[in-house]
């Protein structure tokens, strides 16, 4: 029996060590890759100074095309938006951007409209993408700030990386194997961080008389993003992307706003109720360029 227990202990310890080695390698491989936006920013973007960056969820990712904007204005922009994220995630991305020694004149914040008024915050579905940088204090502190199961898994992965890699195995382990072979592969975004939906329209998208959504900026992470921008001499602009059959009104003078919520009346330019397709993105990017150019010139002349 004693020999059996010794063998079991040996097997258990060996399995634990092997799991730790594999998971550590997975995170290392992702950290050195371009697969997810946090790693893409570190390993692919050599520029240190930008005219603007875009932070947001899928709306920011798919509505504004930095290549179109830059071709019109002669600027240098970068889209750091990630799908399925909240304002807390966008705050973390801004910290991550600044921690790399990079600077920007403007931060375009483009989450979903509802996110501005969320009273509770937690890690977002795709916050595991920062896990390869768990050794950074700002990443660990971010995970530690919440109390959900997912946040605890991410937090404790600082010491037991197999927790996060096994919990998010499809999102971390398998992509890490891809990056071993294709280190420069990106997860559905171009070399400036942009992504677009095809020119298809969901049959459920119908433009009716718009209902009104009142936004009051109650989410504490809006203020945290604004404060972080201010401390780094960054001008924050909150952008509202088009929404089918909905008009957004803003109840604050504390934030600079570009409101394109009711810009598009043609349902053929929507992919679904809250996302434009490629043609819609082109229209939004051109209209944004017009407004943004006026904003830049106004500040220059002040």
Query: How far is it, in rounded angstroms, from Cα 28 to Cα 216?
Result: 41
| pLDDT of residue 209 exceeding 60 | no
* Proportion of the chain above pLDDT 90, given as a percent: 78
* Of 104 and 302, the one with more pLDDT: 104
Residue with tokens 């909150």: 238
pLDDT band per the 50, 70, 90 thresholds, residue 302: low
Q: What is the pLDDT of residue 255?
A: 94
Q: What is the pLDDT of residue 4?
A: 56
Q: What is the pLDDT of residues 101-157, one digit of tens each?
A: 999 999 999 999 999 998 889 999 999 999 999 999 999 999 999 999 999 999 999
What is the average pLDDT score of the chain?
91
Task: Over range 193-215, report the average pLDDT.
Answer: 78
Do 37 and 61 contact (CB within 8 A), yes or no?
Answer: no
Nearest to 100, CA basis, from 60, 53, 145, 147: 53
Whats the size of the chain, residue-wise? 302
Query: How far is it, in rounded angstroms, from Cα 189 to Cα 293?
Result: 25
Query: How far is it, in rounded angstroms, from Cα 30 to Cα 131?
Result: 9
Q: What is the DSSP string of 231-292?
A: HTT-EEEEEE---TTEEEEE--SSSEEEE-TT----GGGBSSSS-B-HHHHHHHHHHHHHHH
Domain edges within the chain: 47-167+187-301
Q: What is the pLDDT of residue 235?
A: 97
Q: What is the pLDDT of residue 213?
A: 83
Task: Over range 215-227, report the average pLDDT.
Answer: 95
For 2, the token pair is 């004693």
Q: What is the pLDDT of residue 47?
A: 97
Q: What is the pLDDT of residues 242-282, one digit of tens each?
A: 998 778 998 788 999 999 999 998 889 999 889 999 999 99
Task: Over range 36-57, report the average pLDDT.
Answer: 98
* Proportion of the chain above pLDDT 70, given as a percent: 89
| pLDDT of residue 17 exceeding 80 | no
CA dihedral sign of residues 178, 182, 184, 185: negative
Do 95 and 229 contact (CB within 8 A), yes or no?
Answer: no
Say how far residue 68 (Cα) sits from the centre of its chain.
20
DSSP H helices, 32-86, are: 37-43, 58-63, 66-73
- CATH for 47-167+187-301 (1.10.3470, 3.40.50, 2.60.40, 3.90.930): 3.40.50
Task: Over range 48-72, report the average pLDDT.
Answer: 98
pTM over 0.75: yes
* Of 129 and 301, the one with more pLDDT: 129
Q: What is the pLDDT of residue 78?
A: 98
Q: What is the pLDDT of residue 10?
A: 53
Using CB atoms within 10 A of its CB, is residue 197 exposed (0-12), middle (13-18) or buried (19+)? buried
Q: What is the pLDDT of residues 162-192, one digit of tens each?
A: 999 999 999 999 999 999 999 999 999 999 9
Q: What is the pLDDT of residue 135?
A: 97
């Amino acid at each position: 029996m004693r020999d059996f227990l010794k063998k079991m202990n040996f097997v258990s310890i060996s399995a634990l060590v092997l799991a730790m080695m594999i998971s550590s390698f997975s995170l290392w491989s992702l950290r050195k890759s371009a697969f997810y936006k946090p790693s893409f920013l570190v390993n692919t973007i050599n520029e240190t100074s930008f005219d603007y960056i875009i932070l947001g969820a899928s709306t920011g990712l798919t509505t504004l095309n930095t290549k179109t904007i830059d071709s019109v204005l002669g600027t240098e922009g970068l889209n750091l938006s990630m799908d399925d994220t909240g304002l807390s995630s966008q705050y973390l991305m801004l910290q991550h951007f600044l921690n790399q020694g990079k600077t920007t004149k403007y931060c375009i914040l483009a989450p979903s409209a509802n996110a501005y008024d969320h009273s509770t915050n937690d890690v977002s579905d795709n916050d595991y993408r920062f896990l390869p940088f768990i050794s950074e204090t700002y990443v660990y502190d971010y995970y530690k700030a919440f109390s959900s199961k997912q946040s605890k898994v991410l937090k404790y992965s600082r010491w037991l990386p197999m927790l996060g890699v096994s919990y998010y195995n499809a999102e971390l382990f398998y992509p890490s194997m891809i990056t071993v072979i294709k280190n420069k592969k990106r997860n559905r975004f171009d070399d400036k961080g942009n992504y677009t939906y095809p020119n298809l329209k969901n049959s459920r998208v119908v433009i009716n008389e718009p209902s009104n959504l009142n936004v009051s900026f109650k989410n504490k992470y809006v203020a945290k993003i604004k404060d972080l921008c201010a401390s780094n001499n960054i001008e924050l602009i909150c952008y509202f992307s088009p929404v089918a059959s909905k008009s957004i009104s803003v109840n604050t003078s504390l934030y600079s706003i570009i409101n394109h919520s009711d810009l598009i009346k043609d349902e053929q330019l929507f992919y679904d109720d809250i996302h434009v397709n490629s043609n819609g993105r082109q229209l939004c990017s051109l209209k944004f360029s017009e407004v943004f150019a006026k904003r830049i010139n106004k500040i220059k002349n002040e």
